[in-house]
């Protein structure tokens, strides 16, 4: 072999499945053979047919060969409910062929010849074989079935036809004898996630591509299969952008801006901890209204209140927001925290950021999103990847986190260690002081800038949030376990 001869790069074949190409590092390699493995009901047939119709819609020719599966009429009837299904392509650029008889009469060798003949006759550039478990069962040995896959792989490469085999897997927890010969293996799974079920996709093997490892959530909906790459895997290679000194963004609350030394640093991320009713949402509305007053685009990502409800709440405390929502200077991304995955939400959020290009973003609240994680250990890397990406896009973030306990022995956030991923921290809470309920605000931390360490009382009135003086007559305000003092910081004598 001449080492000086340049080897051409293998061309990519886009899958047409939202999110899947990102997981695969750019799509399938044309001419390679792939194995899609999963238990019954995990979505193999839907995914295989979606690949075929997407390939045909892009100008290719797809062949779907079936073995021991439902009839083609029933299969097409079931596919009609998906947006990817195009009746004009079925039977034309997407052809269906049963090869059960060649398998029964000639075994895996007969199946291989039948597939190769059909690919050549129809000029297929994508071959999907559904029901390969039947071929695995009829193969006299694992070696014979492996030889069948190897033969299909070699012929597909010569013909420039990408082959996709759909299989339940012959071995529990494994991929059977085909695994060694396949160029790539995608594993689909449907697993319980508390009271819900979650669908997962994992790339177990992929030659010639830098893919995203680990498990990625996917759904089967009206559009078909949609994959949501795990955020920290998709963005993990990005170098964190430094928080450089720059302009301060006012929160819309003059007293709080004074405590922060002039406002929040541009492109920073701020965690707002607070008890229910302390004013977290109102602070976010102040922040957006202040930006709108300056002509800055804003975005609110909410899980409970719609755009109309948020605008009404803001107007009720003297913050002009409704007309900015109507003009789309401020937009609201509302997603109910029900059957939603964090990566799906992040996909929608980043798409809204790319379209609207906001300077200010309020997330109300990250606590609702955190409940959707199947694996809570993802909280910190997920938030770190998200805030780093938002900083790179020039967005200043205010993210609310709700404290469930009104009082306790210590200040414990409900999402441990998540504050490490944020630049700044604020605490809003209610406390009983002198037989009355007061609201207090404290700056817990900021990066690179000095701040006011005092705990200050604030009120919510017709003009919104107003920060007052230091609270001198009590200790324990941050935890809610208030101990009155004599006014000088000392506990009263017993």
pLDDT tens digits for range 301-360: 999 899 999 999 999 998 989 999 999 999 999 998 877 899 999 999 999 999 999 999
Do 17 and 114 reside in the same domain of the chain? yes
Is residue 237 domain-resident?
A: no
Do 253 and 220 reside in the same domain of the chain? no
Rounded to an integer, the average pLDDT of 169-180 is: 66
**Residue 370's pLDDT band (cuts 50, 70, 90):** confident
Hey, how many other C-beta atoms are within 10 angstroms of the C-beta on 477? 21
Residue 250 has pLDDT above 90, yes or no: yes
Q: Which of 19-28, 191-200, 258-267, 394-403 has the lowest mean pLDDT?
A: 191-200
Is residue 134 domain-resident?
A: yes
Is residue 239 domain-resident?
A: no
Do 254 and 213 reside in the same domain of the chain? no
Residue 482 has pLDDT above 60, yes or no: no
Is residue 4 domain-resident?
A: no
Is residue 243 domain-resident?
A: no
What's CA 186's distance to the chain center, in Å?
Answer: 19
Per DSSP, 419 falls in state G
Is residue 2 domain-resident?
A: no
**Residue 91's pLDDT band (cuts 50, 70, 90):** confident
Give pLDDT tens digits for 22-39: 999 999 999 999 999 999
Is residue 72 domain-resident?
A: yes
Rounded to an integer, the average pLDDT of 424-439 is: 82
C-beta of residue 28 within 8 angstroms of C-beta of residue 9: no
CATH number of the domain that residue 306 is part of: 3.40.50.300
Hey, how many other C-beta atoms are within 10 angstroms of the C-beta on 131? 22
Residue 3 has pLDDT above 60, yes or no: no
Burial code (b: 16+ CB inside 10 Å, e: under 16) for 285-321 equals: bbbbbbbbeeebbbbbbbbebebeebbeebeebebeb
Do 420 and 307 reside in the same domain of the chain? yes
Distance CA 230, CA 303 (A): 20
Distance CA 326, CA 360 (A): 17
**Residue 87's pLDDT band (cuts 50, 70, 90):** very high
Residue 71 has pLDDT above 90, yes or no: no
Which residue intervals of 123-216 are DSSP H helices? 133-138, 142-159
Domain region containing 49: 12-229
Do 118 and 177 reside in the same domain of the chain? yes
Number of residues in the chain: 494
Do 254 and 216 reside in the same domain of the chain? no
Do 38 and 84 reside in the same domain of the chain? yes
What is the model's pLDDT at position 42? 94
Q: From 207, 282, 272, 215, select the one nearest 252 (Cα to Cα).
A: 282
Residue 494 has pLDDT above 50, yes or no: no
Residue 224 has pLDDT above 50, yes or no: yes
DSSP reduced 3-state for 351: helix
Is residue 242 domain-resident?
A: no
What is the model's pLDDT at position 313? 92
Which residue intervals of 248-372 are DSSP H helices? 254-259, 280-293, 307-316, 322-326, 342-356, 366-370
What is the model's pLDDT at position 178? 78
Do 253 and 221 reside in the same domain of the chain? no
Per DSSP, 90 falls in state B
Burial code (b: 16+ CB inside 10 Å, e: under 16) for 88-116 equals: ebbeebbbbebbbebbeeebbebbbebbb
**What pTM, to 2 d.p., does this model score?**
0.86
Do 425 and 466 reside in the same domain of the chain? yes
Do 343 and 194 reside in the same domain of the chain? no
What's CA 215's distance to the chain center, in Å?
Answer: 12
Rounded to an integer, the average pLDDT of 439-450 is: 86
Question: Which carries the bigger pLDDT value, residue 483 or residue 198?
Answer: 198
User: Quick one: tokens of 202?
Assistant: 């994992």
Question: 301 - beta bridge partners?
Answer: 333, 363
Residue 295 has pLDDT above 90, yes or no: yes
Average pLDDT of the chain to the nearest whole number? 87
Do 51 and 190 reside in the same domain of the chain? yes
Do 353 and 211 reside in the same domain of the chain? no
How many structural domains are present in the chain? 2
Share of the chain above pLDDT 90, in %: 53
């Amino acid at each position: 072999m001449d080492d000086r001869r340049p080897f051409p790069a293998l061309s990519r074949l886009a899958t047409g499945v939202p999110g899947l190409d990102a997981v695969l590092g750019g799509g399938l390699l044309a001419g390679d053979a792939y194995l899609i493995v999963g238990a019954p009901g995990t979505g193999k047939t839907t995914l295989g047919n979606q690949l075929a119709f997407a390939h045909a819609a892009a100008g290719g020719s797809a062949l779907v060969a079936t073995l021991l599966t439902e009839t083609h009429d029933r299969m097409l009837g079931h596919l009609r409910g998906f947006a990817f299904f195009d009746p004009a392509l079925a039977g034309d650029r997407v052809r269906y062929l049963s090869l059960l008889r060649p398998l029964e009469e000639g075994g895996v060798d007969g199946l291989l010849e039948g597939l190769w003949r059909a690919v050549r006759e129809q000029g297929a550039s994508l071959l999907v074989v559904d029901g390969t478990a039947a071929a695995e069962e009829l193969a006299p040995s694992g070696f014979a079935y492996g030889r069948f896959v190897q033969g299909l792989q070699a012929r597909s490469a010569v013909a420039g036809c990408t082959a996709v085999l759909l299989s339940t897997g012959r071995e529990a927890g494994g991929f059977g004898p085909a695994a060694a010969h396949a160029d790539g293996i995608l594993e689909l799974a449907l697993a319980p996630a508390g009271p819900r079920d979650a669908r997962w996709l994992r790339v177990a093997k992929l030659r010639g591509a830098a893919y995203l490892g680990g498990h990625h959530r996917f759904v089967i909906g009206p559009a078909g299969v949609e994959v949501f790459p795990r955020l920290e895997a998709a963005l993990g290679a990005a170098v964190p952008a430094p928080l450089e000194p720059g302009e301060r963004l006012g929160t819309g609350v003059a007293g709080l801006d004074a405590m922060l030394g002039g406002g929040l640093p541009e492109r920073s991320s701020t965690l707002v901890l607070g008890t229910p009713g302390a004013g977290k949402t109102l602070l976010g509305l102040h922040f957006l209204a202040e930006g709108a007053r300056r002509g800055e685009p804003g975005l609110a990502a909410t899980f409970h209140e719609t755009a109309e409800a948020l605008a009404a709440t803001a107007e009720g405390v003297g913050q002009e927001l409704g007309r900015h929502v109507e003009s789309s200077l401020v937009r609201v991304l509302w997603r109910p925290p029900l059957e939603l995955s964090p990566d799906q939400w992040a996909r929608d959020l980043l798409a809204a950021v790319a379209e609207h290009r906001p300077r200010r973003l309020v997330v109300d609240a990250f606590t609702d999103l955190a409940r959707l994680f199947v694996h809570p250990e993802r909280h910190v890397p997920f938030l770190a990847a998200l805030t780093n990406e938002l900083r790179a896009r020039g967005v200043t973030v205010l993210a609310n986190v709700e404290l469930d306990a009104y009082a306790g022995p210590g200040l414990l956030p409900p999402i441990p260690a998540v504050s490490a991923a944020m630049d700044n921290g604020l605490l809003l809470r209610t406390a009983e002081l002198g037989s009355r309920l007061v609201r207090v605000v404290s700056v817990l931390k900021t990066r690179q800038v000095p701040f006011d360490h005092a705990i200050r009382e604030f009120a919510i009135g017709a003009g919104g949030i107003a920060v007052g003086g230091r609270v001198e007559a009590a200790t324990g305000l941050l935890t809610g376990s208030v101990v009155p003092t004599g006014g000088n910081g000392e506990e009263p004598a017993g």
